[in-house]
């Protein structure tokens, strides 16, 4: 895969800040309630540790941060912590040629079909592969 492009997605009306670089901006009150992680979030955490560990070494955590930053303002503001992680991991698996985009999309479609067949409710929508602003 060709080298990823170095770029900065700017935040709108923020004096030249990058989209993610929000330290010091007013984002409203901080939610101090504690909550458990969902199972899928723990899996994402484990996935990151395994992928960035010495055995697999697919990418550095710095690359994950870069992908999250490159998603831009709309995605940054509308995704949760682990939603950011899993999107970036997914993109990096393709960027580093661990999996192809087609393989991932095929598997997602298969999982969705199995879930529908078993009566599970799906959230709906699609996760963009880049920072194209789409409704979630």
Partner 1 sequence: MATPRFRVGDVVRVDARAALGHCRTPFFLRGKTGVIVGIQGAFHDPEKLAYHKPGLPRMVLYKVRFKQPEIWPNYPGRPHDQLEADIYEHWLIRADGEARSDSHAAA
What residue ranges bind partner 1 (CB under 8 A)? 3-4, 6-8, 15-18, 21, 23-24, 59-60, 62-63, 65-66, 69, 96
Least distance (Å) between residue 57 CB and partner 1: 11
Name which of 126, 54, 43, 30 is nearest 86 in CA terms.
Answer: 43
Q: Which CB sits closer to partner 1, 44 or 88?
A: 88
The residues, any chain, with a CB within 8 Å of residue 113's CB and separated by 6 or more, are none
Least distance (Å) between residue 133 CB and partner 1: 20
Least distance (Å) between residue 135 CB and partner 1: 27
């Amino acid at each position: 895969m060709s080298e990823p492009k170095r770029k900065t997605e700017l935040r709108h009306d923020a004096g030249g800040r990058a989209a993610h670089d929000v330290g010091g901006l007013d984002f409203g009150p901080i939610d101090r309630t504690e909550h458990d992680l969902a199972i899928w979030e723990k899996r994402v955490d484990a996935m990151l540790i395994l992928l960035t560990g010495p055995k697999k070494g697919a990418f550095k955590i710095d690359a994950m941060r870069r992908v999250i930053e490159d998603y831009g303002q709309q995605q940054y503001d509308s995704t949760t912590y682990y939603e950011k992680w899993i999107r970036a991991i997914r993109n990096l698996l393709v960027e580093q040629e661990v999996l192809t985009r087609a393989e991932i999309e095929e598997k997602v479609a298969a999982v969705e079909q199995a879930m529908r067949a078993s009566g599970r409710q799906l959230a709906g929508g699609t996760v963009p592969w880049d920072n194209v602003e789409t409704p979630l």
